Amino acid sequence: MANPSCRLLSLGLVPYCQAWHYQRQWVRAKQGDRQREDGLMLLEHPPVYTLGTGSQTKYLKFDPEHPPAELWRTERGGEVTYHCPGQLVGYPILDLNHFQKDLHWYLRQLEEVLIVTLGKLDLPGERIPGLTGVWLGGHKVAAIAIKVSGWITCHGFALNICPDLAGFSQIVPCGISDRPVGSLNQFLPGLTVDVVQPLVIQAFAEVLPVTWLTTGGVPPWLSDDVA
């Protein structure tokens, strides 16, 4: 069987609400037409905190009515996290009918994408049993949280490459208080998103075999109008 087609969008710095809008549009488009291609959006966000559907505000160290940056509650799983420039965010829009209809399997595949990416940099990324994400030298360097509807995925992963980690001090990241957040440039000083993103693209296609469709920008059937 041929690998499913997957449109790759490299979007640069995108406000969280805009990227969330694109995801919801893409999911709706695929629900209406199962032949619509899968996708992977790679981007960075301006500083923003996001909460999952059931996230507990006790993990915020600030008043949610007066956040230090934008604050959004979304439909993904997981607890609170933080996004900012220097963190590469990936939002796969995949029909798991093309792969394996198993949410735990899918989470492990996203972890594997990032572990393979780190391996290409000779960094030993690892899992911690019972916790979702990727660790390096005891530091959590990648967070993963998803939403799946009708076996179509959205949300995804965030890999800390060279961000300012100060924003994480305002939360208990992912509700985990006893393990520090870290970034790749703590282990490889000078590392940038531009260096790592091609490695993520390679690793993604190795772990979740796809045939890439590339585009110069957002396809016309994804509206820029945020509802």
Specify the fold of 5-214: BirA Bifunctional Protein; domain 2 (3.30.930)
**Residue 224: is it exposed, middle or buried by C-beta count within 10 angstroms (0-12/13-18/19+)?**
exposed
**Residue 52: is it exposed, middle or buried by C-beta count within 10 angstroms (0-12/13-18/19+)?**
buried
The pLDDT of residue 68 is 96
142 annotated as ligand-binding = no
Residue 141, Ramachandran bin (φ over 0: left; ψ between -120 and 50: alpha; else beta): alpha
- Are 170 and 82 spatial neighbours (Cβ–Cβ below 8 Å)? yes
- Are 93 and 154 spatial neighbours (Cβ–Cβ below 8 Å)? yes
Give the tens place of pLDDT for each residue, 124-146: 999 999 999 999 999 999 999 99
Give the tens place of pLDDT for each residue, 192-221: 999 999 999 999 999 999 999 976 678 888
Identify the CA nearest to 153 among candidates 18, 1, 40, 49.
40
- % residues pLDDT > 70 (the chain): 97
83 annotated as ligand-binding = yes
> Tokens standing for 56?
């507990």
89 annotated as ligand-binding = no
Nearest 5°: phi and psi at 106? -65, -45
The pLDDT of residue 94 is 97
Give the tens place of pLDDT for each residue, 160-201: 999 999 999 999 988 888 889 999 999 999 999 999 999 999
> Tokens standing for 74?
């979304």
**Domain boundaries, given as residue ranges, for the chain:** 5-214
Q: Residue 212 forms beta bridges with which residues?
A: 6
78 annotated as ligand-binding = yes
59 annotated as ligand-binding = no
Residue 65: DSSP 8-state: T
Give the catalytic positions in this structure. Answer: 174
| pLDDT surpasses 80 at 48 | yes
Predicted TM-score (pTM) of this structure: 0.96
Identify the CA nearest to 200 among candidates 95, 123, 89.
89
- Distance separating alpha carbons of residues 86 and 44, to the nearest angstrom: 7
